[in-house]
Structure 1
Amino acid sequence: MGYFYMFLLLFVSWVLFIPSTHQLQTSQAQVLLQLRKHLEYPSPLEIWENYNGDLCSVISTAHMSISCQDNSVTELKIMGDKLVKVAEFRGYPIPNQTLSLGFSIDSFITTLTRLTSLRVLTLVSLGIWGPLPDKIHRLSSLEVLDLSSNFMFGSIPSGISRLVKLQTLTLDGNYFNETVPDWWNSLSNLTALSLKSNQLKGQFPSSICRMTTVTDIAMSHNQLSGKLPDMSGLTSLHVLDLRENRLDSRLPVMPKGLVTALLSKNSFSGEIPQQFGELGQLQHLDLSFNNLSGTPPSALFSLTNLSYLHLASNMLSGSLPNHLNCGSKLGFVDISNNKLVGGLPPCLDSDSDKTVVKFGGNCLSVDDQHQHQESYCKEACTRKQSMGREIGFLIAIICGVVLTVVLAVVGALIFCRRYRKTVKFEQYTRPKAVQDNSPAGVSSEVLANARLISQVKLGTQGSPVYRSFSLEELKEATSNFHSSSFLGEGSRGKLYKGRLENGTYVAIRSLAFLKKYSIQNLKIRLDFLSKLHHPHLVGLLGYCIEGGGQDNSNASKVFLVYEYVPYGNYRTHLSENCPEKVLNWSDRLSVLIGVAKAVHFLHTGVIPGSFNNQLRTNNILLDEHRIAKLSDYGMTIIMEENERLEAKGDGSKSCQTTKVKDDVYNFGFILLESLVGPIVSGKGEAFLLKEMASFGSQDGRKRIVDPAVLTTCSQESLSIVVSITNKCISPEPSDRPSFEDVLWNLQYAAQVQASADTEQKSDSTS
């Protein structure tokens, strides 16, 4: 009998266990379905409609993934399509693409907190709006929280400080507009903190400086002000990004392990600390567009790992020592628009291709054409030393008011002359965004009245001044187009490398015309191209036109002068012939995203749009930071016959759509080469027809995908790019995605890859 009762007890326990386990699964599924309802049934969650009671078994997609453990949801990642697009009305942002007025962020978070085992939560571009509730702290197991690209506002809730297991917090691209909280040292496991592109204000929180685990801090594009405290206690910090704020203190002591410091476009003052010259791990330093004074520390230039040094547009003075040593990895130096005197040290004044140096707008004894008079700098320095900062600021305001009145009285003509005189020493300008609803087209009249329709943040380098060059200047820059300056030849003519009188390296393309062009018409087209400023486009610096007749009415030969991009084309960085240059998967995604942003801008950022943009891997160039820049864009505007261009001036919608889809199709081949390596010229489409099916299986991918990709990618990230590639190269133009869709998928793939890299790093550390 004893055995019978024991058996009965075990049987009852087993029976009771079955419904409790099933109930747990049902409860989790109900929470997920409720979340889908809160989010108003976004398209990435359509797959949930066919679930069989256990959403943990749902196959992950490019835009949604669920991971479970012990019948509980541990990871939830949803990437929506409600991109943050902000219009402006009288200077105030007006968000669109949010969830409806019926959405309640409080109810949404309440439902979300029922997933008590969540360790990873990613909710990006879902249109979530409202103040983030403090009850977020109930998700006590969270290790990764990413709520970027939504419309949350107000303050960052203190409840986040109770998420003691949190390792990564990303709140980029929202509208948080209160003071940055000062409880960050409560998060003892936090390694990455990113609050970029909000409206946060107040001082930089001192509690961050007591965090010994944090490796990445990004708070750029906010409204932080006041003092930046001593950062030396951040012993693990590698990346510090505080660009475009209002910080106005002296530069503090930095941690010795710092790799990247981006502090541009603030109001930092005083001298650059000598301690910066002791940062042996530093690779990238940007202090441009501040109020820094004194002479830069000599040791800064000789740091062994430093590759990028941007000190432009400050008030640096004195002279650099002739014996200055430059580090072996230093590839870019910008000291322009300061008050430096004397000569350039030999390591900055060589003709070596290794280092790009910009030094215009100083009082140096070289290149007088692009320098101020030395007396100007001495007078400015003396004046600065004799006045306090407050008095100088007051005088600047008074001078500004007086100057405005004088300009108004004297008139537009003198204003233009003064402006041109100022521009002589300014290397960069910023395009003005103008709404324009004129019809798309490419007639001369339309091109002459082209308008930018989207504001582009150009970054620290901005857009250079555009001008006309003489043929003599170009001959001198290229040693009369000597063979040593020859870079290559394509369907658009020969390409040469040159060095201008001010030391700037340029790329000069000699166009091969089939007929003579009206100079007036051609200048209109070139002027249109000069307006296309974007950080991922090779900048057009100017042109040189050779006339074909005595009346100078026709052009027989044209030279286009572009900025020189030193690190070769993207195609060479995909080839196994140069293994030391081959890019890993994350770097390839960064290049692809940059090019996609550039093409999207060419299509939508200006009226008329620029299409058929020569999208090939060898037309994507990489600068000293491996930032991608598209070259040879807009060539059809110049090269097509005038009569055909004029005939298309009305710009039919169907024709424009076809051109857009052509760019998408060509970009698909760039994606393909990023996956498999360079494709033999002329065999691209045949290769696709034969091999594209191989992407569908793991064995096929191993056979066809570049090993440099396979060994550095996550399968989820790779799948996203394979999917969008397949769509881009669809034979039917109507089946191809928009460039906005392409860009969105690439950004999501990069985010997925970054998460995978973080997890791998965490696992290896453990």
Structure 2
Amino acid sequence: MGWPSTLHLVFLSWALLASTTHQLQTYERQILLQLRKHLEYPIELDAWQNYYGDLCTLSSTTHMSITCQDNSVTELKIMGDKLAKVSEFNGFALPNQTLSQSFSVDSFVTTLTRLTNLRVVSLVSLGMWGPLPDKIHRLSSLELLDVSSNFLFGTIPAQLSRMVRLHTLTLDGNFFNDTVPDWFDSLTKLTVLSLKNNRLKGQFPSSLTRITSLTDIILSHNALAGKLPDMSALTGLHLLDLRENHFDSQLPSLPKGLTTILLSNNSLSGEIPQELGELQQLQHLDLSNNFLTGTPPSELFSLQNISYLNVASNVLSGSLPQRISCGDALGFVDISNNRFIGSLPSCLDSNSGKRIVKFGWNCLSIDTKNQHSKSFCEKAVTVTQSKRFSGKAIVLLAGVIGGILIIVVLLLVGLLIFRRRQQARGAPPGLRTVPKVVQDNPPSAISSELLANARIISQAAKLGAQGTPVYRLFSMEELEEATGRFDQSTVLGAGSIGKIYKGRLQNGNYVAIRSLALHKKFLIRNLKLRLDLLSKLRHPHLVGLLGHCIDGEVQDDSTVNRVLLVYEFVPNGNFHTHLSETSPEKVLNWSDRLAVLIGIAKAVHFLHTGVIPPSTCNRLKTRNILLDEHRVAKLSDYGMSIVTEDVEKSEARGDGSKSWHMSKLEDDVYNFGFILLESLVGPIGKGKGEAFLLKEMTSFGSQDGRRKIVDPIVLTTSSQESLSIVISLTNKCISPDSSRPSFEDVLWNLQYAAQVQATADVDQKSDAASLS
């Protein structure tokens, strides 16, 4: 072969190589552009379309980053704003938060898996919705997967267990609502597992205790329950975050290297183990809002690195040893709302300026105006111990009864099967019955139209719907006949959002009809979606919405500015009138008031947790709490902002990092605080608004002050202990700072106050009987 021929072959080889490289880059570029199309062209990816060079060389931004190696994409990070812009729609997911009806998460993941060399995938706040497909496991080289702050729901796919190179798995802020899987030990390299802010249920996955590489376990803000296992084998674990669940065990054995332990807002019981005082690396410990007892180990306060220690709102008791020494790093201590007696150790003296110390509502001999009496703490400890003993007896008795019931049920089932076989054998040929196959349809859930547009993954339709009438459409003629053409004599009340009429339907049932004037004209199709959502809010302590009538309805593309909502009629007046001294025969005593408050707290807790995201701005006030003929409390006017859209975009008060809807959750707590306050002092009269009550609340600190401000009926029908619990809760709810309790905490405290009151009532009756 001559020199020209050899040179020709070399040039030809270079050309082929260049052509192959170009084709590979073009192929992956087309995949990236296809992903952009799937995500419906977010503005964060505008640069992809207008950039004609190699996308691997594109400059990274805070919202987008591409990393390549050997002409292949190895890292893809995209951060959108689908959750940054909180909807005006009462905090719910509207189309501007999620991708459209045409989005397919299956197609998106199929396209994504064609980038076969991906090691890092971070797709945050992009509005993706739907179940995460199993085929995600095709990204076999993946080391980090982060799809947080989207609208993914259903089960965490089992095929993730095949992604053995994963070291970080983050699924935060979605709507996964199945049990937590127990195959995590297949991921032997896993260091960070974060599943917080979902709706996961079931127990703590035992497989996690076998992954010694773990450094962070974050399962907070879910619905996990049951016992916590021994985690001492996780020698590399630094962060354990299990807040806001329903774990009900004692504190487990924990590894020595932990720096942060967050176990607040569970149902943990027992004493704080001495081993916690041996965690020399511990910096942050939060055990608040549980049922822990005993006295915390004094070594906790003197740990070398401890900076934050919170054991508030438990049932801790006894005297804190005066010899306690506090570590130099300790900057915050909260031991409030427990049963401590005696005096504070000198190192916890809040006047020293070295650290912030909260110690109110114990039985300490310091700052007595914010403390309970010593007898309160002693009695509470005794009640807790007796409940623990009686609880064990109840469990034992329940086990015996349960065993008997199981045997009886088995016998009945056997008898039923025997009879059916006998009947089948005796039937003539051709007439033997075949069991009818019944489709297991779930209760009427969210309509496909609403799901397509609002992406709300909710259990609301499944709760509290049994026994309630089917939601239906009413005609204008039917409602006019029920109200005598909306005669003035049928008006029950009027407010800023329209009048309420009392009507009687043709079947004789009474209803309440709200004529709702809409400040903004809606397309009928848009309004129907909102009404469909509102109709799903069913709970025993919510006034039932029976149906609606759209005034002047013509076509889906026409507009409307008035709608009539038809509710069940609740005959026994509102809570406000039952607190008034002007009708003494109707005035509720303390136990009855607690029953009303517990019912409404359950309803609001449902609105905050039974729908996803929560329903906020629920117009909580005593006039919107109605009582039926059995004095069962029902909340009216809930969810009105869904239809009226009177909640505009706003910033969260206080902490700028808080989401808008979280601030609205706290607004509900704040407003409920004034319902508590009116329950204590009686209804707010003319000229006595919030400012007046806030000023008067300072009188709660002393017995004389309480006698001046608390309703006499409350004083004469309540125990001091029960009253103190509700006063403390009221102070927390109306607290000007951002540390207000959740409605789960509100409900727990009210139920505890009612239990304490019931015990006091029984004791009083027993004493009266013995005297007689």
**What TM-score, normalized by structure 1, do the two folds share?**
0.53
- Where in structure 2 are the equivalents of 1:225-624 lying within 5 Å? 225-349=225-349, 351-388=351-388, 391=391, 414-415=589-590, 433-434=617-618, 454-456=661-663
Amino acid in structure 1 at the alignment position of 2:283: Q
* Cα drift, residue 417 of structure 1: 12
Task: Name the CA shift for 1:375/1:416 in 2 (closer, same or farther; >3 Å).
Answer: closer
* Residue number in structure 2 paired with 1:696: none
SS at match of 1:185: helix
- The answer to whether the 8 Å contact 1:86/1:94 transfers is no
For each residue in 1:129-185, what CA deviation from the matched residue of structure 2 results, as whole angstroms up to 9, or x when unmatched? 111111111112222221111100011112222222222221111001111111222
SS at match of 1:316: strand
Task: Name the CA shift for 1:453/1:169 in 2 (closer, same or farther; >3 Å).
Answer: closer
Task: Name the CA shift for 1:312/1:394 in 2 (closer, same or farther; >3 Å).
Answer: farther
SS at match of 1:305: coil
* Cα drift, residue 322 of structure 1: 1.9
Distance 2:645 2:45 in 1: 39
* Cα drift, residue 389 of structure 1: 6.3
Task: Name the CA shift for 1:97/1:466 in 2 (closer, same or farther; >3 Å).
Answer: closer
* Residue number in structure 1 paired with 2:209: 209
For each residue in 1:431-463, what CA deviation from the matched residue of structure 2 results, as whole angstroms up to 9, or x when unmatched? 97336679899xxxxxxxxxx99443889xx98
* Cα drift, residue 222 of structure 1: 0.6
Task: Name the CA shift for 1:312/1:42 in 2 (closer, same or farther; >3 Å).
Answer: same
SS at match of 2:27: helix
- The answer to whether the 8 Å contact 1:84/1:95 transfers is no
* Residue number in structure 2 paired with 1:493: none
Decide which moves more: 262-271 or 179-188.
179-188
Distance 2:4 2:93 in 1: 75
- The answer to whether the 8 Å contact 1:272/1:294 transfers is yes
SS at match of 2:229: coil
Amino acid in structure 2 at the alignment position of 1:31: I
Structure 1 moving runs of 4+ over 6 Å = 84-96, 392-395, 407-410, 416-419, 429-432, 437-441, 462-467
Decide which moves more: 429-438 or 174-183.
429-438
- The answer to whether the 8 Å contact 2:237/2:255 transfers is yes
SS at match of 2:351: coil
- Does 2:390 match 1:183? no
- Does 2:283 match 1:99? no
Decide which moves more: 363-372 or 123-132.
363-372
- The answer to whether the 8 Å contact 2:86/2:661 transfers is no
* Cα drift, residue 54 of structure 1: 2.7
* Residue number in structure 1 paired with 2:753: none
- The answer to whether the 8 Å contact 1:84/1:173 transfers is no
Task: Name the CA shift for 1:92/1:125 in 2 (closer, same or farther; >3 Å).
Answer: closer
Distance 1:393 1:265 in 2: 27
Amino acid in structure 1 at the alignment position of 2:45: L
Amino acid in structure 2 at the alignment position of 1:284: H
Amino acid in structure 1 at the alignment position of 2:176: F
* Residue number in structure 2 paired with 1:27: 27
- Does 2:44 match 1:44? yes
* Residue number in structure 1 paired with 2:139: 139
For each residue in 1:358-389, what CA deviation from the matched residue of structure 2 results, as whole angstroms up to 9, or x when unmatched? 12222223333222222232223223323436
* Cα drift, residue 465 of structure 1: 12
- Where in structure 2 are the equivalents of 1:642-653 lying within 5 Å? none
* Cα drift, residue 5 of structure 1: 5.9
- The answer to whether the 8 Å contact 1:323/1:345 transfers is yes
- The answer to whether the 8 Å contact 1:29/1:53 transfers is no
Task: Name the CA shift for 1:102/1:332 in 2 (closer, same or farther; >3 Å).
Answer: same
* Cα drift, residue 285 of structure 1: 0.5
* Cα drift, residue 265 of structure 1: 0.3
Task: Name the CA shift for 1:457/1:342 in 2 (closer, same or farther; >3 Å).
Answer: farther
Task: Name the CA shift for 1:454/1:27 in 2 (closer, same or farther; >3 Å).
Answer: closer
Task: Name the CA shift for 1:331/1:410 in 2 (closer, same or farther; >3 Å).
Answer: farther
Decide which moves more: 81-90 or 203-212.
81-90
For each residue in 1:676-705, what CA deviation from the matched residue of structure 2 results, as whole angstroms up to 9, or x when unmatched? xxxxxxxxxxxxxxxxxxxxxxxxxxxxxx
- The answer to whether the 8 Å contact 1:74/1:120 transfers is yes
For each residue in 1:595-618, what CA deviation from the matched residue of structure 2 results, as whole angstroms up to 9, or x when unmatched? xxxxxxxxxxxxxxx9xxxxxxxx
5+ unaligned residues in a row in structure 2: which ranges? 396-540, 542-574, 598-603, 609-615, 619-639, 649-658, 675-685, 700-735, 740-772
* Cα drift, residue 412 of structure 1: 5.6
For each residue in 1:237-270, what CA deviation from the matched residue of structure 2 results, as whole angstroms up to 9, or x when unmatched? 1111111011111111111111111110000111
Rg bigger for which structure? 2
* Cα drift, residue 16 of structure 1: 1.9
Task: Name the CA shift for 1:48/1:335 in 2 (closer, same or farther; >3 Å).
Answer: same
Amino acid in structure 2 at the alignment position of 1:433: C
For each residue in 1:532-570, what CA deviation from the matched residue of structure 2 results, as whole angstroms up to 9, or x when unmatched? xxxxxxxxx989xxxxxxxxxxxxxxxxxxxxxxxxxxx
* Cα drift, residue 304 of structure 1: 1.4
Distance 1:208 1:290 in 2: 24
Distance 2:2 2:348 in 1: 94
Amino acid in structure 1 at the alignment position of 2:617: A
Task: Name the CA shift for 1:240/1:278 in 2 (closer, same or farther; >3 Å).
Answer: same
- The answer to whether the 8 Å contact 2:185/2:211 transfers is yes
Distance 1:56 1:418 in 2: 66
* Residue number in structure 1 paired with 2:159: 159
RMSD: 4.4
SS at match of 2:137: helix
SS at match of 1:24: helix
Task: Name the CA shift for 1:234/1:344 in 2 (closer, same or farther; >3 Å).
Answer: same
5+ unaligned residues in a row in structure 1: which ranges? 396-400, 423-428, 442-451, 468-519, 532-540, 544-609, 611-620, 624-766
Distance 2:255 2:83 in 1: 36
Distance 1:67 1:232 in 2: 38
Distance 1:249 1:220 in 2: 16
- Where in structure 2 are the equivalents of 1:738-753 lying within 5 Å? none
For each residue in 1:278-310, what CA deviation from the matched residue of structure 2 results, as whole angstroms up to 9, or x when unmatched? 011111111000011111111111111111111
* Residue number in structure 2 paired with 1:192: 192
Distance 1:233 1:300 in 2: 22
- The answer to whether the 8 Å contact 2:133/2:157 transfers is yes
* Cα drift, residue 3 of structure 1: 5.7
Point out which structure has higher relative CO (alpha carbons under 8 A, 6+ apart): 2
Distance 1:114 1:411 in 2: 71
SS at match of 2:663: coil
SS at match of 1:380: helix
Distance 1:293 1:457 in 2: 34
Distance 1:239 1:2 in 2: 71
Task: Name the CA shift for 1:69/1:383 in 2 (closer, same or farther; >3 Å).
Answer: same
Task: Name the CA shift for 1:338/1:89 in 2 (closer, same or farther; >3 Å).
Answer: farther
- The answer to whether the 8 Å contact 2:86/2:660 transfers is no
Amino acid in structure 2 at the alignment position of 1:119: R
Q: Share of identical aligned residues, percent?
A: 59
- The answer to whether the 8 Å contact 1:340/1:377 transfers is yes
Distance 2:187 2:356 in 1: 42
* Cα drift, residue 314 of structure 1: 0.7
* Cα drift, residue 20 of structure 1: 0.9
- The answer to whether the 8 Å contact 2:223/2:246 transfers is yes
- The answer to whether the 8 Å contact 1:152/1:174 transfers is yes
Distance 1:463 1:281 in 2: 38
Distance 2:47 2:109 in 1: 22
For each residue in 1:322-350, what CA deviation from the matched residue of structure 2 results, as whole angstroms up to 9, or x when unmatched? 21222222121111111122222222235
